[in-house]
Amino acid sequence: MGRVRAYLQERLSHGPVHLTLIDPEKSDPSEAARTARSAVELGSDAVMLGGSTGITPGRMGAVARGVKAAVPVPVIIFPEGPESLAGEADAIYFMSLLNSRDPDWVIRTQARAALAVRQLGLEPISLGYIVVAPGMRVGEVGQVDPVRRDDPATAQGYALAAELLGMSLVYLEAGSGAPEPVPPELVRAVRSVLTVPLIVGGGIRTGIDARRLLDAGAQLLVTGTVTEEEGIGPGFQEILKEVRTDRGG
Ligand code: 1GP
């Protein structure tokens, strides 16, 4: 097991994990470093970089370098495609958008990027990515047939297929900026069939959102928009408080 995955496993043995998503298109290296530092001080466990189309490897690399200089936690690329690759990060989600209609998002882009991931020395963390309605921009760009919010059986099928294919993490995504997170009932249903850790993201803005998802069995929570909108404000602080509560303080 790679170093970053081992770190996440270790953190998960103490309770839920929080991942701070920073968009390197919207934050320059010093802003990203500032956000990361405050987030980690509140208990966030790692930084994910990604979120926009149009990123260049140069920009990704510069932001990764800035964040790494600021915080001792892993920096993980959350890629859009091969243009997101930068050797300055620690790891990359080597992910498949499982419910896309377009094979480019399921496996072809990964085939084009695999050799570069190896050559850059990035730790690949295999991940099955499942988009739930509304799906927002990733749902459109990724040509997704989103899992309906009232269809736990379909979500369970994709998630378990990911695990049986050997993926080390499953990510349920409502879409960045979604008005509501993934429904807790869907999270509960997926959690009940998985043995690999479950990441949930999209639309988590308040402590109440976080609490519902944690109670439903989400093990890793991703937040991005809440810090873009209000910085390290009350919403972010409440979310981290709920995460810390389940770690026992
Ligand atoms: C998006 O799940 C992440 O890919 C985070 O979503 O920006 O809504 O927090 P938000």
Distance CA 9, CA 45 (A): 11
The atom number, within ligand 1, closest to the CA of 226 reads 9
Own/partner long-range contacts of 113-118 (Cβ < 8 Å, ≥24 apart): 113/79, 113/81, 113/82, 113/85, 116/82, 116/85, 117/85, 117/92
The atom number, within ligand 1, closest to the CA of 138 reads 4
Alpha carbon 139 to chain centroid, angstroms: 15
134-183 per-position pLDDT tens digit: 999 999 999 999 999 999 999 999 999 999 999 999 999 999 999 999 99
Report CA(235)–ligand 1 centroid distance (Å). Answer: 14
What number does CATH give the domain 3-246?
3.20.20.390
42-82 per-position pLDDT tens digit: 999 999 999 877 899 999 999 999 999 999 999 999 998 88
The predicted structure's pLDDT at residue 249: 65
Report CA(241)–ligand 1 centroid distance (Å). Answer: 19
Report CA(225)–ligand 1 centroid distance (Å). Answer: 6
For the segment 194-209, the average pLDDT, to the nearest whole number, is 98
What predicted TM-score, i.e. pTM, was given to this entire model?
0.97
Q: For all residues of the chain together, what is the average pLDDT?
A: 96
